[in-house]
Amino acid sequence: MQSSQIIENNSHVTPVRIIRKDGEFYTIQFANFGRISLRGSRLYHTEEEAQKKIRPAPSSNRQVIRNGYHKTPYQYNNSRSPYGI
């Protein structure tokens, strides 16, 4: 069995063991003995190689009000509303 690395949730690198190859798919085993199948393009030889592929999270473009929270649609003042909300 060969060792490899995968990226989970586009956020962290996890070491795995390759159990078998079936066409372009590999069955891998996690440290907790869970198994999944995935394409060979998702496997990396080293942790450093996998770390280079992790993309940073996009920055939020939401408007922030003074107390640090994002505005919801209910926080905007709509004086034309017949319901007073």
46-61, pLDDT tens digit by residue?
999 999 999 887 666 5
- Please compute Rg for the chain using Cα positions: 23
> CATH number for the domain including 29?
2.30.30
- Quick one: which H or E segment has residue 48? helix 47-53
The answer as to whether 80 is a domain residue is: no
Q: Hey, is 65 helix, strand or coil?
A: coil
Domain hosting 34: range is 2-55
DSSP, residue by residue, 8-23: ETTTEEEEEEEEEEET
Whole-prediction pTM = 0.63
The tokens for 3 are 């060792």
The answer as to whether 85 is a domain residue is: no
Could you tell me if 65 and 71 are in contact, meaning their C-beta atoms sit under 8 angstroms apart?
Answer: yes
Give how many domains the chain has, as a whole number: 1
pLDDT tens digits for 2-45?
A: 999 999 988 899 999 999 999 999 999 999 889 999 999 999 99
The answer as to whether 31 is a domain residue is: yes
